[in-house]
Structure 1
Amino acid sequence: MRQVKGNIIAQKLARLMSGGQPRVLDLFAGCGGISLGFQAAGFRIDAAVEIDEIAARTHAMNFHKGLASDAFERHAKPRDITAMEPEEITAELGLGPVDEAFDVIVGGPPCQAYARVGRAKLRDVADHPSAFKVDPRGNLYLRYIHYVKATKPLAILVENVPDVLNYGGHNVMGEIAEVLTDLGYVARYSLINTAFHGVPQMRDRVFLMAVHKDLGTSIEFPKASRHMTLPPGYNGTRSVALKLVDLFAEGHFVEADHGNPDMDAPVTCEEALGDLPPITLHLEGKLRRGARRFDQPVPYPSRKKLPEYARRMRNWRDFEAPEDGLRDHVIRYLPRDAAIFREMPNGAEYPIAHVTAVRLWEQHIRSLEKSGKRVSGAEKQRLYRAMVPPYPVGSFPNRWWKLRPDFPSRTLLAHIGKDTYSHIHYDSKQARVISVREAARLQSFPDGFVFCGTMNPAYRQIGNAVPPLMAERLAAQIKIALDRAISGRMLAGTVVAAE
């Protein structure tokens, strides 16, 4: 075979051809949902950029835990992407020249930042030689693109909420695809619900994948592994999001595969959570208010046969369940609401919860009066305030929701860092909201994944994350594209000198 000295893309391919692992830079990394999925698919997580101090430390604790103290602290350092250049990161971490350091860039810039771009299309703004300086606080997509330009990756993954397809009159993901095309990439994006890919959660997200055109290959989205009919609310949200997507003329959008009725049903909440230890301390008067840490292991209950999903969460390579028991299995102290949680039917929302609370209050008043006690009007009002949630029924219909054991969960959001009423456990005997570890299970984080901080920050990190199982499925498709490019080069008889 003949040797040809090529450009940086060819040199990176040559490194992979010689057996090197694809190296990932995770931007807006959070606690590491995307990183975990890519690691599971055979990629190496070399660096991450995350501004939140607790999430950055969580990421380091899980992906760089074997390093010496000084090296670990460099990875655990929070980094502001608006204030840090790509070459500063590679220099700090000892990763060499910035354009040689990474093979893949992944991440999800916050959608809200796009508002700062104004009415101009992203590709017009991005063409400016100092585009990211237009407003470095807000134009985080421009920073993402700036990092792409500097690091010259072979492949790219971008993730965001469905609103990114119809944000202030812009299809932001379509415009990102246009910019990446201008930079020499073949880009495709799709609106995917994770329930079709083995995650026990109905979570709609937009994913863009791109590969450099010099690879001589294209990128394909994974086929559905499960099938379901989404509830009507999800279809309405998807219709609004897709309003600005030109399904015929654009060329970048790919309709997601939804499988067929002959396929397996989605992973249910029971399959995801049913093997975990019950929590009843709050019913026994042994739970108090305050921040809770995760230093108390809880033994798994004995169970002869585990669902496939539970086995994966316990046996994820390098993140196996701790031998001494489950960590992070802690809940919020909500003494007023346990009786409501118990009486609510599965699948019920806040209006039913409110009706249930009023019924319990009425029953309590009748019980007091039947016992011979005289209950004044003022006392009835006091008891009402103590027993019935104060939120207007019409204003927050989705604020509360009780899981269905036979169905996937609704979307987990960062808001669970403030309250967890959106995910009330389906087991009425436990009469509680889901624990931190149960939130992690619904998001497909394995039991051996460690969260830094106390309960509320852990909930928030989980709600913000990309489900690792979904990331793994996307990473597998990128790996296929890279392997296809390597095979093509080998068949052509060309070896590129990697310098």
Structure 2
Amino acid sequence: MDNIINQYNFIDLFAGAGGLSEGFVQAGFKPLAHVEMNQFAAQTLQTRIAYYYLKANKKLKVYRDYLRGVITREEFLSKIPDSILRSVLCETMSDKTLPSIFDTIDMILAENNISKVDVIIGGPPCQAYSLVGRAQSSHMITPMQDDPRNELYKLYARFLKRYQPRMFVFENVMGIQSANGGKTWKNIKTYLKRVGYEIECHEQNSRSFGVLQNRRRMIIVGWLKDSGLKYPEFEVIEPDALVNDLLNDLPAILPGEKSNEYSDRKISKYVKTQKIRERGDILTLHESRSNKERDIEIYKRVIELWNNGHQRLNYNDLPEELKTHKNRDSFLDRFKVVEGDEQYCHTMLAHISKDGHYFIHPDISQHRSITVREAARIQSFPDNYFFEGPRTSQFIQIGNAVPPLMAKGIAVGVEHELSKKGDIDGKKSFT
């Protein structure tokens, strides 16, 4: 890659599909390595770094040929140097695997003449900390307090101890501070401080970063003790847009249909400004689930209620012939339309991988759940971001991701902090 002076670098742990990483890249940071255990998410990361390599070398035709199916994935990856591809480590982090992961990252640093890691980002899988997860814990074989994922922060701390980045960003769900009666959060703070960091934890909402989604997350930021750094100040962005602005230029399709060609509908200012869709993009992953007639009838009722007064469907209000669930006491809002005429829609969840009932398209003429591409747009992923694997995995990757636009805002704040202190560590640029 091109030599960039004073460009900060980062390592992404528990990287998922790369939402957090994408935001840092968009803000000008250079990725050194991604560590992710899921095979399909790791493939998505490889595809994305391949995209950036081809873009930098003015060879995007190769990428577009891959998206169109003109070349196979094997042929596509053969165009990318091994030194680029091996920066994605598809590994499950554990005490056993960490030495080899460290060796690989050390090799990447040495090959690129990098003496210092600037930032480590990422957040361990969040189900063990989440409020929803704990509410369901009584129905699980392994209670939440005994979930081994509760202690993944210890592995994160070992990366901090080894590479001593000037700052780190640890993203997680609401509830991390109260998990396990507060003991987990106390232990996390103790571990992170023990390896040389001061930390702060604050709630952030993606809607404050220009994302058209109400998504609350805890953002923990740490910095080396006595470095003079602090928790960044993030610029609040309030876009003049509605959720429909994300959806309206995509082709209208019915349940079970797909489209690989953009429609001639007008592109909204928001989509243009945020570079969600750019000239030359190939439309992918715009295929809707097939639905039973019963579900379609329910969808129409849900959409009509919302569009005519912002009312939500109560499951018990459905005619008996449309009801299939025996549970009539909870999850009565299991059918929910995306709020197209509002500035923000409800939180995108990985549960969309199971069914689309909670994310119904607001256009009654389409009477379907949203597609992978529409879900990605709600999460602020650009259309040229391709998700690998089967549709179930694609939805999980998107639902679990940090919205790139939110991540970009966080990265800008981090960059501002780092630049205030200058290159005091004798940092070398990524090449």
TM-score (norm 1): 0.68
Q: 1:302 matched to which residue of 2? A: 265
Aligned-pair distance for 1:457? 1.0
| Aligned partner of 2:415 among 476, 479, 490 | 479
Q: 1:402 matched to which residue of 2? A: 337
CA distance in 1 between counterparts of 2:346 and 2:369 reads 14
Give 3-state SS (helix, strand or coil) of 2:98's partner: coil
* Residue 144, structure 1, aligned to residue 159, structure 2: no
Aligned-pair distance for 1:171? 6.2
| Aligned partner of 1:108 among 103, 108, 123 | 123
Q: 1:84 matched to which residue of 2? A: 98
| Aligned partner of 1:415 among 351, 366, 383 | 351
* Residue 213, structure 1, aligned to residue 175, structure 2: no
Q: 1:169 matched to which residue of 2? A: 181
CA distance in 1 between counterparts of 2:175 and 2:270 reads 33
CA contact 2:116–2:427 (8 Å) conserved in 1: no
Aligned-pair distance for 1:475? 0.5
CA contact 1:404–1:426 (8 Å) conserved in 2: yes
Residues 457-493 of structure 1: CA distance to partner in whole angstroms, max 9, x if unpaired? Answer: 1111000100111111010010001110018x6xxxx
Residue 444 to residue 497, structure 1, CA distance change in 2 (3 Å): closer
* Residue 465, structure 1, aligned to residue 401, structure 2: yes
* Residue 270, structure 1, aligned to residue 244, structure 2: yes
Letter in 2 for 1:51: M
Letter in 1 for 2:262: P
Structure 1 range deviating more: 176-185 or 53-62: 176-185
Residues 61-111 of structure 1: CA distance to partner in whole angstroms, max 9, x if unpaired? Answer: 102443735345524551111123342231564646999352110001124
Structure 1 range deviating more: 198-207 or 412-421: 412-421
CA contact 2:35–2:90 (8 Å) conserved in 1: yes
| Aligned partner of 1:334 among 272, 291, 314 | 291
Residue 77 to residue 213, structure 1, CA distance change in 2 (3 Å): closer
Structure 1 range deviating more: 180-189 or 19-28: 180-189
CA contact 1:298–1:329 (8 Å) conserved in 2: no
Give 3-state SS (helix, strand or coil) of 2:274's partner: helix
Q: 1:58 matched to which residue of 2? A: 44
Q: 2:82 matched to which residue of 1? A: 70
CA distance in 1 between counterparts of 2:327 and 2:20 reads 37
CA contact 1:202–1:411 (8 Å) conserved in 2: yes
CA distance in 1 between counterparts of 2:364 and 2:205 reads 28
Give 3-state SS (helix, strand or coil) of 1:163's partner: coil
* Residue 33, structure 1, aligned to residue 19, structure 2: yes
| Aligned partner of 1:48 among 16, 31, 34 | 34
Give 3-state SS (helix, strand or coil) of 1:168's partner: helix
CA distance in 2 between counterparts of 1:110 and 1:459 reads 16
Q: 1:239 matched to which residue of 2? A: none
Aligned-pair distance for 1:426? 0.9
| Aligned partner of 1:222 among 214, 218, 234 | 234
CA distance in 2 between counterparts of 1:414 and 1:217 reads 35
- Following superposition of structure 1 onto structure 2, how do residues 121-136 of structure 1 map, counting pairs within 5 Å? none
RMSD: 3.2
Paired residues in the alignment total 376
CA contact 1:338–1:431 (8 Å) conserved in 2: yes
Residues 245-264 of structure 1: CA distance to partner in whole angstroms, max 9, x if unpaired? Answer: xxxxxxxxxxxxxxxxxxx6
TM-score (norm 2): 0.78
Q: 1:351 matched to which residue of 2? A: 314
Consecutive unaligned residues of structure 2, counting only runs of 5 or more, are 54-78, 131-146
Consecutive unaligned residues of structure 1, counting only runs of 5 or more, are 1-15, 116-134, 227-263, 362-383, 490-494
CA contact 1:414–1:459 (8 Å) conserved in 2: yes
Aligned-pair distance for 1:498? 6.8
Provide the identity percentage.
Answer: 30
Give 3-state SS (helix, strand or coil) of 2:199's partner: strand
Residue 114 to residue 388, structure 1, CA distance change in 2 (3 Å): closer
CA distance in 2 between counterparts of 1:143 and 1:189 reads 19
Aligned-pair distance for 1:388? 3.4
Letter in 2 for 1:392: N
Q: 1:379 matched to which residue of 2? A: none
Letter in 2 for 1:222: F
* Structure whose alpha-carbon radius of gyration is higher: 1
Aligned-pair distance for 1:60? 1.2
- Following superposition of structure 1 onto structure 2, how do residues 188-337 of structure 1 map, counting pairs within 5 Å? 188-226=200-238, 267-280=241-254, 282=255, 287=256, 297-303=260-266, 306-315=268-277, 320=278, 322-323=280-281, 325-336=282-293, 337=295
* Residue 187, structure 1, aligned to residue 199, structure 2: yes
CA contact 1:351–1:393 (8 Å) conserved in 2: no
Give 3-state SS (helix, strand or coil) of 2:386's partner: coil
Residues 367-425 of structure 1: CA distance to partner in whole angstroms, max 9, x if unpaired? Answer: xxxxxxxxxxxxxxxxx3xx434353322123221122222111111111111211111
| Aligned partner of 1:427 among 363, 374, 386 | 363
Letter in 2 for 1:54: F
Give 3-state SS (helix, strand or coil) of 1:170's partner: helix
Give 3-state SS (helix, strand or coil) of 1:191's partner: strand
Letter in 2 for 1:399: R
CA contact 2:339–2:346 (8 Å) conserved in 1: no
